[in-house]
Chains A and B, each alone.
Chain A
Amino acid sequence: MSKTKKIVLGVFAFYALVFVALILIYGITQHKNSEFQIQNEFKLVNWVSLGVLSINRAVVYLILATILTIGTMFWISRRMQARPNRVQTAVEVIYSLMRDNISRGNMPDSMAAKWFPFLGTLFLFIWYCNLIGYLPLPTNSEEKFTLFGAHIPAFALYAATANISVPLVLALVVFVAFNWVGVRAQGPLGYLKSLVPSGVGGVGAFVLGILEGVSTLMRLLSLTIRLWANIFSGHIIILFMTGGLAVILGLQALGWFALPAGIIIYLFELGLVATLQAFIFATLAAIYIGGAASHH
């Protein structure tokens, strides 16, 4: 038997053993859960009261993401060398992705030079927001644990982008940006006219104009919901699979049973979704802005 096979079998045996043990200890009994509400994991509790600008969990995550975005990028930009180390190589790959794929791929070079800071920041900001969402941080102020007498918020996974306000405001910025570009490039009337495909007149033009107008508005919603729903659903599934379900249903063994799925989804979210959603958001923003300037 090969070593890998032994390890796999060992892990599987351990998993099965614990599962059986949990059933034997607790039985397949259900007790009613009344206090745990899964949506409360995403509730914003004001920690520092500053009126409308009160600092809550999402704000802390945003600040953290901002500090990390600026900090890491700034730190690396001061240490750019002719012979890059691994970190620099990675940053260069990301930079090339932002500059060549996201920006230059979707708009003329002159425009890309102008819009790159916006699109690059958009990508990095969302990316960092998504990524730190997979770090367990002591931010769940609803559940606390006591360590050496101090009440510390429970460690939790949370992401600013799992809150609809964050994607919404970023999508709004993109929405304003591409409409502004369109109006500037073609004039207010020209931009409105450009919504109607050329060669269509009369009632058809009116109907198509309304449809295109709605579809332009839908960009705002689709940008918002795509990012928010992906991150939110990812977090909720991880939450369910790594204990949430067991707590809600009051089935201890189920928590253990679902744990592997939780781990797999966690890795999937961290490795793919976090990056992919940031990339898609920034790329779509570039497509909308580039498209508004050079309309059909």
Chain B
Amino acid sequence: MPAVSHLPVAASSGSFLITPNVGLMIWTLLLFAISMYILGRWVFPRISEALDRRQHAIEESIDHAERVRHQADEMLEEYRERLREARAQAEQIIERARKSAEVRERETMEETQKRREQLMEQTRRDIESETRRAIQEIRREVADLTVMATEKVTRKVLDEEDQRRLIEEALGDLDFSALAPDGDRD
């Protein structure tokens, strides 16, 4: 602390403490007026403007946020709706596919069945006709052989008419049932 040099000061009464000083009052008034003028004209409007602008910006951003939220809600609802639809559609598609697969399967099975039956029928018919043809063949062979044998045995030629009759008689006694299909005897 620097040395404080006491200057001799005359003892004064304290009344000046509560005596208004006109010069100081004028100074106060003047400086206050200047302050008020400058603050009121250039400072307060600026601050007020900035605050209002911020207020405005805040309100706007709240509004904006609200709008965005609303939109998001709508979108979400829309997507949910779409999802529901898609799920329903998917189920429908699967159901349809399942049904069509079943139908297809059934059809295929039926067709196969029919085809097999047809094939078997055909086969049966083929066998039958083959059998019939074979029997005819055998008969003819047997008849020819019999004629030849008879000629050799009797040394005589029977006329065609007689031979046929004789053979038919003989063959009538023969049993071909073993060769022919069941109950299909000639």
Residues of A within 8 A of B27 (CB): 53, 58-59, 62
Interface pair B12/A173, CB less than 8 Å apart: no
Query: Whole-angstrom distance between the alpha carbons of A155 and B32 in the complex?
Result: 26
B35-66 toward A: CB 8 Å interface, digit per residue (1/0)? Answer: 11011101110111111011001000000000
> Which of A51, A117, A160 has the most CB atoms of chain B within a 10 A radius of its CB?
A117
Is chain A's interface secondary structure helix, strand, loop, or mixed overall?
A: helix
Residues 22-39 (chain B) with a chain A CB within 8 angstroms: 22-29, 31-32, 34-36, 38-39
Query: Whole-angstrom distance between the alpha carbons of A40 and B51 in the complex?
Result: 46
Interface pair A121/B39, CB less than 8 Å apart: yes
Interface pair A59/B24, CB less than 8 Å apart: yes
Residues of A within 8 A of B46 (CB): 77-78, 80
Query: Whole-angstrom distance between the alpha carbons of A35 and B8 in the complex?
Result: 7
Query: Whole-angstrom distance between the alpha carbons of A4 and B98 in the complex?
Result: 82
Residues of A within 8 A of B174 (CB): none
| Also in contact, A77 and B22, with CB within 8 A (given A59-B27, A143-B6) | no
| Also in contact, A73 and B43, with CB within 8 A (given A39-B17, A82-B53, A168-B20) | yes
A222 contacts the other chain (Cβ, under 8 Å)? no
B3 contacts the other chain (Cβ, under 8 Å)? yes
Q: How many of chain A's residues have a CB under 8 angstroms from any CB in B?
A: 61
Which residue of the partner chain, among A54, A59, A91, A121, contacts B32 with CB atoms under 8 Å? Answer: A121
Known contacts A70-B38, A77-B44, A125-B35; 19 additional CB pairs below 8 A are A35-B6, A36-B6, A39-B14, A39-B17, A44-B21, A44-B24, A52-B22, A53-B26, A65-B31, A73-B39, A77-B46, A80-B46, A117-B39, A142-B7, A152-B2, A154-B4, A160-B28, A165-B20, A169-B25
* Selected A-B contacts with CB under 8 Å, 27 pairs: A35-B9, A39-B12, A40-B12, A42-B16, A42-B17, A44-B21, A51-B23, A53-B26, A53-B27, A58-B24, A62-B24, A74-B42, A74-B43, A77-B42, A78-B46, A82-B53, A82-B54, A95-B44, A96-B51, A144-B5, A145-B3, A145-B4, A146-B5, A154-B4, A165-B20, A165-B25, A166-B25
